[in-house]
Amino acid sequence: MPSDQESDQTGEPSPKELVNLDEIETLAVEDSAIDAESIEVDDYAAIRAENEQLRKQLAAQQSTTTKTRSSGQHTWRKILAGVLAALAIITLVAGFSIVWLQTTLGDEDQFVATLAPLPQEEAVASVLALRVADGVVEAANVEAYVAETLPAELEFIALPVTNSITTVVATASQEVITSDVFNAIWSTALRVTHKSVSAVLNGNDGALVAEGGQVAIDLDEVAAQVAGEVESLGFDLPEGDLELGQIVIYEDEQLAVVQAIAQTLDAASWFVPLLAVVFIVAAIWVSYDRRRMTAILGFGTAIGLALSLIGLRMGRNWLINAIEEETRQIAAGAAWDTIVNRLYEMMWAGLILALIVGIAAWVMGPGSRAVRTRAWASETIEGWRRPVAADPNSFTNFVANWKPTIEVVAVAAGLIYILFGPSPSGFSVLLTAAIVLAVVVATEVLAAPEPVETAQADNVDVLATVEIIDD
């Protein structure tokens, strides 16, 4: 019989303490020296009970150890999955701004498409027209010209006359700026500027030297157009070339910084989205509940993009409020909205797509509301399906046979259009999602099962065939 003292010292049974009853019985039979009657029935029952108790204690101890290890692993996996999900959301949200910035600055067509509409904004055109008018009046030395032309006794009205001429020139300038001719000039100037910027950023510093150490948009051609418009109104400007100068983007002192930013941006434009995909896949793979993790990623990304949109709006207000003159404030706001409009659209598209993913993952979950939602959808589709099921045809049979393929192709086509199609927007994502959902629902409705009578007839034929084989 095992020692109680040894068991108490360890607190848990040892496999050596387990009594093998079969060996006891075998020895009792083989060894004639031992009298079987000497083993009392009560002792035998006590040994069996103690043996069973030790077995249960050992099993319980092993189960506790297994649960403890499993609980520890589960905790670490939950923490790791949460960290990966947070990193995925951060990199994904940041990727929108990085990709937008890189494509806007790096792609010539996108650069022109982003900045070309600026002169069409009334507030921007007014500020540009006033700047052009001031430049024309100053370059032509209109005030001195007026003072020389007027009689000596009327020299005091030189300044009011000059202001009036400036107003006329500003009106003419705005007409020029909003004209198709200026749009062509502006687009050409943007393309030339982008080529200069690209050449410098790619390491061709000679392009910067050739431009006098600056990368800028030349306004002299605009001045010539404005001068022609003013003269067509009956005003004779002094002879000579008008020079309005340039809109400087950056100078040679800033070259190293600009090149470093451009190189970093170029690398980040593909690395950050790739890193986001890796984090997303890793978070879903590590998580115990992958459906729940998908929902977390969807809703988390939507929240992150919503916060980014709020941040952009706050940045816009801060920038505009920093400008004192009201006219320039309005122009700055219009310019901001025009330039950042594509980023807004991209973020809204991503937000709505993330919400769709999150809602889809939630609907597939075990929650009571999710179950009721699925039940409602199933009942609705079943109600639409009954008329089709009552009168099937070759088309409905085709849809039934290819139902999984049709639904997968529809979802894949929608995702490809959103990710790789024209610049996405919130409306385009909603429209695409609605079309995909309509295709899936139509497929479920048209893929009607066989009528009950046909199915019963097929069962009768099968039973008859089985009976013939048995006979």
What band does 470 get if pLDDT is binned at 50, 70 and 90?
Answer: very low
- Quick check: 71 pLDDT over 70? no
The pair of three-digit structure tokens given for residue 60, joined into one six-digit string: 């319980």
Q: Which residues contact 321 (CB under 8 A, 6 or more apart)?
A: 329
For the chain, give the percent of residues with pLDDT over 90: 22
What band does 176 get if pLDDT is binned at 50, 70 and 90?
Answer: confident
The predicted-structure confidence for 200-257, as pLDDT tens digits, reads as follows 666 555 444 444 555 566 666 666 666 676 667 666 665 555 555 566 655 555 556 6
What integer is the mean pLDDT of 253-277? 78
Please give the DSSP secondary-structure letter assigned to residue 364. T
What integer is the mean pLDDT of 34-60? 64
What band does 300 get if pLDDT is binned at 50, 70 and 90?
Answer: very high
Per-residue burial over 263-299, b = 16 or more CB atoms within 10 Å of its CB, e = otherwise: eebeebbeebbebbeebbebbbebbeeebbbbbbbbb
More confident residue, 82 or 460: 82
Query: What residue type is 43 in one-letter code?
Result: D
In Å, how far from its chain's centre is CA 237? 55
pTM as predicted = 0.68
CB 162 within 8 A of CB 104: no
Write down the H helix ranges in 107-157.
108-115, 122-139, 142-149
The pair of three-digit structure tokens given for residue 266, joined into one six-digit string: 């170029």
Q: What was the pLDDT predicted at 28?
A: 47
Residue 294 CA to residue 430 CA, distance in Å, equals: 20
Please give the DSSP secondary-structure letter assigned to residue 238. P
What integer is the mean pLDDT of 349-378? 91
Q: What is the mean pLDDT of the chain?
A: 75
Whole-angstrom Cα Rg for the chain: 41
